[in-house]
Copies of this chain bind each other. A is one copy, B any other.
């Protein structure tokens, strides 16, 4: 369960902490983990609400179907697991019950097919005004492959896959009515790093991992908090084609943020790019300090990152 704007999530973890766990790990990571002997099952859920997470005029129904799957399997990939199945709940107002619903399912099916993910259950119901979608993604991996936010070690390299900022640049384009820029299309049709996540899961030099949901400025803090470490991030090393604000505080890039044994980073990055055709870029170092420092060309950076509030 992720942090939320309502402030009662912390209370919830405390409230439910005393109940029997039945083998599930406590709340706090991209997915919950259930150990079944040598194998782990991971599960995550995300809800998408019309006019909060998508606008019907700005995204096609197929794109909403695609995105509903991607946001969830990205969390599975972030654990080092392979997504295998989903459950889909969908509440439809009358205006979305015919063509919109069918086109949504087409987008969801196409993305499921590409990722080789089964649809194993769900619920469909009516709603009064707005579309509500909930997806649960289930992944499997050898237990030893599971990557947690809490495993970063002092001295680790902080690295990211791919390039950052394109999704939030696309969101701003959409807000300006420019629906067809490359970045806007990426925002709607970005691909989760499923091959990359499972590949990195199998590597013991990868310590902590998560997907980038809210931008690295915010997400690295989850790793710091749970691993009880600090971090230095080099702004000039962040791989991006856009404004640094998009690359640091924009979210939904579906890229992975990870920490790696420093002695083994270079060879890992080389093998990774050969195996997956995706780059792995060093952007900083895990420190002992408990604080987050931004550097630019080796000196403290003169920036203030405020974060981005989604519509």
> Which residues of A come within 8 Å of B, CB atoms?
1-2, 4-6, 8-9, 11-12, 15-16, 19-25, 27, 31-32, 34, 36-37, 39, 41, 43-47, 49-53, 84-85, 87, 89-92, 97, 101-102, 105, 109, 112-113, 116-130, 132, 134, 136, 138, 140
Contact of A127 among B22, B37, B120, B130 (CB under 8 A): B130
CB proximity of A88 to chain B, nearest CB, Å: 8
The chain B residue with its CB closest to the CB of A26 is B120
Contact of A132 among B5, B32, B127 (CB under 8 A): B127
Contact of A121 among B45, B84, B117 (CB under 8 A): B45
Contact status B89-A128, CB under 8 Å: no
Cα distance A225–B308 when bound, in Å? 52
Extra inter-chain contacts (8) besides given A19-B117, A43-B136, A47-B134, CB under 8 Å: A6-B92, A24-B120, A44-B87, A47-B89, A47-B123, A47-B132, A87-B136, A136-B136
A-B pairs, top 5 by smallest CB distance, nearest first, are A134-B134, A22-B84, A4-B124, A32-B120, A132-B132
- How many copies, total? 2
Cα distance A96–B91 when bound, in Å? 19
Cα distance A24–B119 when bound, in Å? 9
CB proximity of A95 to chain B, nearest CB, Å: 13
Contact status A2-B53, CB under 8 Å: no
19 contacts between A and B (CB under 8 A): A1-B124, A2-B124, A9-B124, A12-B119, A15-B105, A19-B119, A24-B84, A24-B118, A24-B120, A27-B119, A32-B120, A32-B121, A36-B39, A45-B123, A50-B128, A51-B128, A52-B91, A52-B128, A91-B132
Chain B residues in 8 Å Cβ range of A92:
6
Q: A52-B126, A127-B132, A129-B128 are in contact. Are A16 and B119 (CB under 8 A)?
A: yes
